[in-house]
Structure 1
Amino acid sequence: MKIAIGSDHAAYELKSFLVQYVESKGHSVIDHGPESGSLSVDYPDFADKVCKSVTDNDADYGILLCGTGIGMSIAANKHRGIRAALCLFPEMAALSRRHNHANVLVLGGRLIGSELAGWIVDAFLNSSEEGGRHQTRVDKLETDTFENRVNEP
């Protein structure tokens, strides 16, 4: 698999670890930066780069990191075709893939350590999408608006 990855300055160290970790698992990585953690950078810029790699089919999946993961999640989910999931545990990552068909994993660099991050990445990359009732729900996420379905069963 090809994985696009990016972070802000707050999660630079964990991103650097994960680049090597993902490559050690036999995947290729597109590292969208930053190149160091010494300068403050804006997380939406890196979310945009990773999400474009995924939606342009240059990468199979994306991984985004910032201090809490919240900012990256918000920024990523503004992109059409992106389903970004902030995950704190491996089971969350597996379920985000199986039930929500997440294509971008988001992690909080100030909230988890490298060992847990590796387990979460493994769970995300080793899980696959389930169809059925989950596909029906994911299809609803791909529409422009929920207004016409708010009161539907």
Structure 2
Amino acid sequence: MYKIAVGSDHAGVDYKNKLKDHLEMIGYGVIDVGTNTHDSVNYPNFGAAVGKKVASGECKFGIVVCSTGIGISIAANKVRGVRCGIAYDDEVARLIRAHNDANVIAFGQNRMNYEDCERRLDIFLNTQFDGGRHATRVDLLCSIEEDKLDC
């Protein structure tokens, strides 16, 4: 199986560690970029680190966790080639893959229960990109990164 990068700040470290264990149990290789402490750290470092592992091709997917999922998803999305969405329900976990070809999924440890996050991660990993009209839209997103989108 392919590798998945995981990262979190101090507010997401517990879920990150549990999701990492879940992934390893079902056979995925995992690269943990941290944090591994409850001491206050800055989420942009870890969101970007996961994003870089995915964008470089070292990992196929990434998982980021902070208290809400918002800040760390913004950080991951700053990396060229990353499309990160917050999986706030099961249908969104499916749609961010099927329609947006997301390669990083975000969770909020203080806003979601763990069992929901694990289930949504499995949905995300088992969903294929639909392509078609959605591929055109993903191509347009890539054009933004290259400053080539004519608005």
Bin of the TM-score, shorter chain as denominator length: over 0.9
For residue 17 of structure 2, what is the amino acid of its counterpart? S
For residue 2 of structure 1, what is the amino acid of its counterpart? K
Deviation at 1:48, TM superposition (A): 1.3
SS state at 1:64 partner: strand
Deviation at 1:121, TM superposition (A): 0.4
SS state at 2:150 partner: helix
Q: Provide, for residues 105-137 of structure 1, a one-character-per-residue CA deviation record: whole Å limited to 9, x for no partner.
A: 010011112111110100110001111100001
Deviation at 1:76, TM superposition (A): 1.2
Residues 90 and 121 in structure 1, CA contact (< 8 A), matched pair in contact too: no
TM-score (norm 1): 0.93
Residues 69 and 106 in structure 1, CA contact (< 8 A), matched pair in contact too: yes
How many residues matched? 148
TM-score (norm 2): 0.94
For residue 27 of structure 1, what is the amino acid of its counterpart? Y
The 1-side partners of 2:148 and 2:100 are apart by 17
Structure 1 counterpart of 2:30? 29
Residues 48 and 78 in structure 2, CA contact (< 8 A), matched pair in contact too: no
The 2-side partners of 1:94 and 1:146 are apart by 29
Structure 2 counterpart of 1:55? 55
The 2-side partners of 1:97 and 1:89 are apart by 13
Structure 1 counterpart of 2:13? 12
**Structure 2 gap segments, 5+ residues each:** none
Structure 2 counterpart of 1:148? 150
The 1-side partners of 2:24 and 2:90 are apart by 19
Distance 1:147 1:129, change over 3 A: closer
Deviation at 1:145, TM superposition (A): 3.7
Matches of residues 1-153 of structure 1 in structure 2 within 5 Å? 1-37=2-38, 39-143=39-143, 144-145=146-147, 148-149=150-151
Aligned residues with identical type, % of pairs: 43
The 1-side partners of 2:99 and 2:124 are apart by 12
Q: Provide, for residues 63-104 of structure 1, a one-character-per-residue CA deviation record: whole Å limited to 9, x for no partner.
A: 000000110111111111000001111211111000000000
Aligned-CA RMSD value = 1.1
Q: Larger radius of gyration, structure 1 or 2?
A: 1
The 1-side partners of 2:149 and 2:118 are apart by 39
For residue 85 of structure 2, what is the amino acid of its counterpart? A
For residue 24 of structure 1, what is the amino acid of its counterpart? M
